[in-house]
Amino acid sequence: MKTIYTALLALAISIASISKAQSLSDLSTVGSQTSNKATSSRNQGDPNISASDKALCQQALAAQNSRQFKKAADLYLKLSQQTKSARFKSLSYRMAGSMYAIHGNLLIQLGRGAEAVPFLTKAASMGEIGAYTILGTMYYVGQGVTPNPQKAIEYYRKGARLGEPNAQQALRSLGLRW
């Protein structure tokens, strides 16, 4: 039975590691614009994207591209807190959640599951629903944490209620509903 959940953990990790292409595309467009002419034509409807927002976005993208996911997450979170643009507040917040999830996944792969828990918890609270499945599986099989089936079920249910299909499948395989 634990083999199924180890496979589920691997699947959940790979799904959560896929970055949100549209969010990344939108943020990299802002981060890569340097001329005022290009910026004003691209962002005509959103004058709230400041030079400091663009600089911070460039730093976050550079950290992400160099696989420094925690640093990228922190920078995206800072961008979401400082920008006056509602669009980029939302995008950068989602990217921060994704980067925290990816950082947590890397820690798991390095055998440092206990260190991954706070990052995955933060990612889940930021809307990265796949993180609930990963946390549930970690607690179910005891990967980096003390096995706790009840806590695992709680995480699975949180994810399932938000529409995360792997959490729903995990509960079904346990004969439970969400």
In this prediction, residues 133-151 reach a mean pLDDT of 96
Output the pLDDT for position 46.
65
End-to-end CA distance of the chain: 20
Q: For residue range 91-128, list pLDDT tens digits in order.
A: 999 999 999 999 999 999 999 999 999 999 999 999 99
Quote the pLDDT of residue 88: 85
pLDDT over threshold 80, residue 29: no
Domains within the chain, CATH numbers bracketed: 2-173 (1.25.40)
The answer to whether the Cα torsion of 139, 141, 145, 146 is positive or negative is positive
> For the chain, what is the mean pLDDT?
82
Q: Average pLDDT for residues 52-80, to the nearest whole number?
A: 94
Within 13 A of 104's CA, how many CA atoms are on the CB side? 33
